[in-house]
Amino acid sequence: MMQKIKRLALITTGGDCPGLNAGIRAVVRSAIYHQIEVMGVIRGYEGLIDNNFMPLYSHSVSNILQRGGTILKTARSERFKTHEGRKLAFENLKSQSIDGIVLLGGDGSFRGINTFLQEYSFPAIGIPKTIDNDIYGTDYAIGYDTALNTVVQAVDKIRDTADSHDRLFFVEVMGRDAGMIALQSGIGSGAEAILVPETVTKVEQIVGILNRGWERKKTSMIVIVAEGDDSGGAYKIAEEVKSRFSQYDTRVSILGHMQRGGSPTCFDRVLASRLGVAAVEALLSGRSGEMVGLVNNKIELTPLSKVVTGKKELPMDLMRVAEVLSL
């Protein structure tokens, strides 16, 4: 049964990532295809509370597919965590004659909209986006593939200079609570060791790996460190290792926010396009309070209540691959 939706609000909230604009484009053009008006919300939940809306047309999203960031801007909102803030957001949605919401967000954003939906009956569908790829209910989140490629390209360049100077580099990547970026970029860049929040870091093991590399006459070595690893970050673990392993000149590189920027990969553009169309069609079919995701290359919907309480596990088989190939 097709739901009668005349106007929807489109929101990007939380941290930015590559592919958001591709998602915005897909939602806007899919909605227009189904004769639905789209109102973009500026600066996420803050814009909802401040009644900061702007109409979006097909030409509004021309030439944005390849651009990083989000044309709608984004922000984290403390006010939306309060009942008063959510009440004001609801009143603004009604004043704008909004019939449904499509939200591009991550864990925190989905917790916010899930709480909102428990207080107010309002059709809403979420689209997963985060470079950490730690959202339950989807194999891939928008932005992850681009961030992976950014890291691998950066580490390849670091490897060039490390090899020229016989250096050991500790490279810190994003991942406060999840090691997805560190693990896959580490394998993709041929890192000798990978440190992630999901496992306990033992300095002795790292030194053992590095010693084996030294004995095999390796001219450079790379250790990828997720920022949330229990070692305390790249600088701290580098100092500990250096005190026990001094065969190489040791350096640290923090990749930082460059992982959030840049033109999205083809994979992220296609993923965002698929999820954007699916989100609009889910609303039209009467679905609400769910997230569209990609599972085994098929679109699946997962209740937001499960998304915010579920835990996406790190693929430990890949940790084994990394260990075997670190020789």
Shared fold status for 7-143+264-309 and 145-261: yes
Residue 96: its pLDDT value, please?
97
User: Model pTM?
Assistant: 0.94
Match 């030294």 to its residue by tokens: 214
**Residue 300's pLDDT is what?**
98
Q: Which residues pair with 37 in a beta bridge?
A: 7
Catalytic residues: 132
**Average pLDDT for runs of 10 along the chain of length 327:** 84 96 98 97 97 97 97 94 97 97 96 96 96 97 98 97 94 94 97 93 90 90 93 91 90 96 97 98 96 98 97 91 87
For position 93, what pLDDT does the model report? 97
pLDDT of residue 2: 61
Is residue 61 within 8 A of residue 29, CB to CB? The reply is yes
Residue 74 CB contacts under 8 Å (≥ 6 apart), including other chains = 12, 13, 14, 15, 16, 20, 43, 44
Nearest to residue 25, comparing CAs of 276, 203, 253, 274?
A: 276
Instruction: Give the span between the Cα atoms of 96 and 57, in whole angstroms.
Output: 16
pLDDT at residue 256, rounded to an integer: 94
Question: Which pLDDT value is given to residue 3?
Answer: 66
Rg (CA), the chain: 22
The domain ranges of the chain are 7-143+264-309, 145-261
Distance CA 131, CA 298 (A): 20
CATH topology of domain 145-261: Rossmann fold (3.40.50)
> With respect to CATH, is domain 7-143+264-309 assigned 3.40.50.1100?
no
